[in-house]
Structure 1
Amino acid sequence: MSVEGLGRCVMVIPTYNESENLEWIVGRLRAAQPGVDVMVVDDNSPDGTGAIADRLAAADPAVTVVHRTEKAGLGAAYLNGFDVALAAGYDVIGEMDADGSHQPEQLHLLLDALRTADLVIGSRYVSGGSVVNWPVQRLLLSRGGNLYVRLLLGMKVKDATAGFRLFRRTTLEAIDLGAVRSTGYVFQTDLAYRTVSRGLRVAEVPIEFIERERGDSKMSGQVASESLRLITRWGLSERLAHLKARRHR
């Protein structure tokens, strides 16, 4: 299936223990955007998420499933899904969570913006964006983390850690996915930085982000602090590499 003016489009949804949410979110996505395909990438969920995904795929040719053998991190699941989507010939490849925090009913905002961009991010932190049902501590941690990323990497993206995105095929081909080593939550920042570094156009559109109502969140204070440590290590090495490259020009 396709979206007028953009070609064939697929949303990649990584899952681990999302049996309470998967059918609900896929149903909403298919209703909101009938021209957009769905690819579920399941990390061998012990709660039966993979079997639910297979049932959805059997009933709807626009839904496909990638079964992974282990839980290897968000970035690894996305990279696997991107590889499959690129091989299948998709023109637009998107990301979204399975827990309902990214609303399929707002996907049209990202699709419209992609007509003049190479990467579109559904942003919580641009004007008009919002976060619903987060405790103040988590909101401050997320906002502070994004500010830190902007200062560390010198890019203007307001929500570099966001996971509601659309990439053009040409963007993913340009940013060298084979060289991406980040597998956890740093992955989102890594891909945004790679896109900006190659001079490609990044657009942010405001979304309403809603904290999950069902199932367990994969984010904790420990995960968030570890992510910041990894961003620091990775970000400093990236900046040093750029400085060395400039000296040798």
Structure 2
Amino acid sequence: MNESDSIILIPTYNEKENIEKIIRAVFGLEKCFHVLVIDDGSPDGTAQIVRRLMETEFADRLFIIERSGKLGLGTAYITGFKWALDHGYAYIFEMDADFSHDPNDLPRLYAACHDEGNDVSIGSRYVSGVNVVNWPIGRVLMSYFASKYVRLVTGFKVHDTTAGFVCYRRRVLETIPLDEVRFKGYGFQIEMKFTAYKIGFKIKEVPVIFVNRREGTSKMSGGIFGEAFFGVMRLRLDGWLRKYPLLPEE
């Protein structure tokens, strides 16, 4: 029995080229992690690959939630958060399927929370310069200055607010009202981190190198960036007007 206090949430849509490789890479680490795939009705057979691995090799550490269609990154993660909380995990991770996030960095994010006492650890592309490989320069600049924009508008001092490589302690996700999270794309990543910050949770950025996907197709769109751009103004207003939950005692 491969028991673990940690689970990696991997949302998928048409990731047949990557999903088995990323699962095996996570399970090849010295620390035991579990994996939950949240698949949004991939027509390419992504879910079938996961089910095969569950049935033949990883029944006690690989899980899947299959949804009916593309319902948004934010709703996929919230579905996964609730599942992970219901199943008792202490550390809950966000991670992409396409190897842009290196599985070898998972123990570093875990240590930042488990060993160092932080509530949120972020795999940060920008805390020590710009650590992005094989992205078009326009996309690098858009992502980098999006995070700068968030810092300017909100006063939130995290360098990589749009990062999707994150570890949350369970008490963070138990405290944030998940059903009140509004945004679905990049804005979701910003909103989760900003809300954790406003409640008073300890956040640490762990420097990582982000590598653009080698296989499969990117799901990024201009609308995702637009949501983030205008959503930041809403978050700033929330920071002034909204009553956030109290920081829970340890």
Structure 2 length as normaliser, TM-score?
Answer: 0.90
Per-residue displacement from partner, 1:223-247 (whole Å, max 9, x unpaired)? 3234323333x3243134249xxxx
Instruction: Give 3-state SS (helix, strand or coil) of 1:13's partner.
Output: strand
Partners of 2:31 and 2:66 lie apart in 1 by 24
Does residue 63 (structure 1) correspond to residue 62 (structure 2)? The answer is yes
Q: Which of the numbers 24, 43, 46 marks the counterpart of 2:21?
A: 24
Q: Which of the numbers 44, 48, 73 marks the counterpart of 1:47?
A: 44
Per-residue displacement from partner, 1:94-130 (whole Å, max 9, x unpaired)? 0100011000011111111113200000000012661
Partner of 2:211: 210
Higher mean C-alpha displacement, 191-200 vs 51-60: 51-60
Partner of 1:10: 7
Alpha-carbon contact 1:122-1:205 (below 8 Å) kept: yes
Q: Flag the 1:194–1:139 CA change in 2: closer, same or farther, 3 A.
A: same
Q: Spell out structure 1 runs of 4+ moving beyond 6 A.
A: none
1:174 positional shift:
1.3
Partners of 1:134 and 1:221 lie apart in 2 by 16
Higher mean C-alpha displacement, 75-84 vs 120-129: 120-129
Alpha-carbon contact 2:36-2:64 (below 8 Å) kept: yes
Partners of 2:79 and 2:140 lie apart in 1 by 30
Alpha-carbon contact 1:11-1:39 (below 8 Å) kept: yes
Counterpart AA for 1:228:
F
Alpha-carbon contact 2:176-2:195 (below 8 Å) kept: yes
Per-residue displacement from partner, 1:72-112 (whole Å, max 9, x unpaired)? 10000000011111001111110100011000011111111
Alpha-carbon contact 2:38-2:67 (below 8 Å) kept: yes
Give the share of equivalent positions with the same residue, in percent. Answer: 42
Partner of 2:99: 100
Partners of 2:216 and 2:88 lie apart in 1 by 33
Partners of 1:33 and 1:187 lie apart in 2 by 31
Q: Flag the 1:73–1:33 CA change in 2: closer, same or farther, 3 A.
A: farther
Partner of 1:246: none
Instruction: Give 3-state SS (helix, strand or coil) of 1:78's partner.
Output: helix
Per-residue displacement from partner, 1:123-151 (whole Å, max 9, x unpaired)? 00012661100111111111110011111
Per-residue displacement from partner, 1:153-178 (whole Å, max 9, x unpaired)? 21111111001010000111111212
Partners of 2:212 and 2:126 lie apart in 1 by 15
- Say how many residue pairs are matched: 238
Partners of 1:86 and 1:226 lie apart in 2 by 28
Alpha-carbon contact 1:129-1:206 (below 8 Å) kept: no
Per-residue displacement from partner, 1:159-218 (whole Å, max 9, x unpaired)? 110010100001111112122122222111011011100111000000010000101101
Per-residue displacement from partner, 1:52-81 (whole Å, max 9, x unpaired)? 111122220210011111211000000001
Partner of 1:110: 109
Partner of 2:90: 91
Counterpart AA for 1:237:
L
Counterpart AA for 1:175:
I
Partners of 1:235 and 1:91 lie apart in 2 by 28
Partners of 2:148 and 2:112 lie apart in 1 by 24
Alpha-carbon contact 1:13-1:95 (below 8 Å) kept: yes
1:23 positional shift:
0.3
Q: Flag the 1:73–1:91 CA change in 2: closer, same or farther, 3 A.
A: same
Counterpart AA for 2:119:
D
Structure 2 spans left out of the alignment, 5+ residues: 244-250
Partner of 2:73: 74
Partners of 1:216 and 1:165 lie apart in 2 by 22
Instruction: Give 3-state SS (helix, strand or coil) of 1:145's partner.
Output: helix
